[in-house]
Amino acid sequence: MAASTAGWAVRFGSTRASGGTCTIKVFGNGFLDISAHEDPGVTVGSLEGDGKVSLGPNNLNVGSNHRSTVFSGVIEDQGGALNGHGSLTKIGSGTLTLSRPSTYTAGTTVKSGTLLVKNTSGSATGSGAVQVATGTLAGNGIISGPVSLGTGTGRRALLSLQNRNGIGVLSIQSELSFNADGIYDCKVDSDTAAADQVIANGVTMAGGTISISDHGSALLSPGTVLTIINNTAAPTINGTFANLPDGATLVIGQNTFQANYEGGDGNDLTLTVMP
């Protein structure tokens, strides 16, 4: 089943109304409105288009049909029936790409599949916190709320920039934290002497691990420094990855690096090429 609208609304106003595995497509001034629904919110198979989603005080679960889609519209709290603080949950094995800023406020949860942020302004996930319970948070976009990887007891929560055009940068304007089941999948490109970089306003590591691979094949000059976490807060990074102690050396491709959690301007995680 698919629902598509341009200049019209798809509304879920009853407590019994459910999107099931329905494909929702909203374009132009068309919109999806779940603001009059009640707890526990609404589930839809997938979401795509460039229209608007009005959550009201409800949670929208997206991904039950496991499709990969791109939504380039706006997700907001306010709806035609009720105002409130709405939230978004990514479920299913597919990828939901958010390519424009949104304004909803009650947070985002990734339970399965991939949430890919590709916006160039604002915040793809509104102003609330982002919790990656399991699955993947990816992209080169901007997130304004705090981001937490893992629950401490889950299977795997992955942070991966997944930039097909090469090295990428993900900007988090609040704190980034890793729990024991959180993983940072980081790419180095020795051919261009660059690396994936996460920018965050404070970093805490209660365990977690890092996986680093080289997508190039060059031998870098000793002393070359790659910043893989750019901490914009004044305090230093709190903790280390479980598999990368401060000062540890590691071989990535053709190069040997040393990790420094006080690198850059004194509080970044850097990799320095050793002789």
0.85 cut: is pTM over it?
yes
Report pLDDT digits (tens) over 69-121: 999 999 999 754 446 689 999 999 999 999 999 999 999 999 999 999 999 99
Report pLDDT digits (tens) over 213-234: 999 999 999 999 999 999 999 9
Cα(9)–Cα(94) distance, integer angstroms: 25
Q: What is the mean pLDDT of the chain?
A: 92
Q: What type of residue is 99?
A: S
Domain ranges of the chain: 129-275
Report pLDDT digits (tens) over 171-220: 999 999 999 999 999 999 999 999 999 999 999 999 899 999 999 999 99
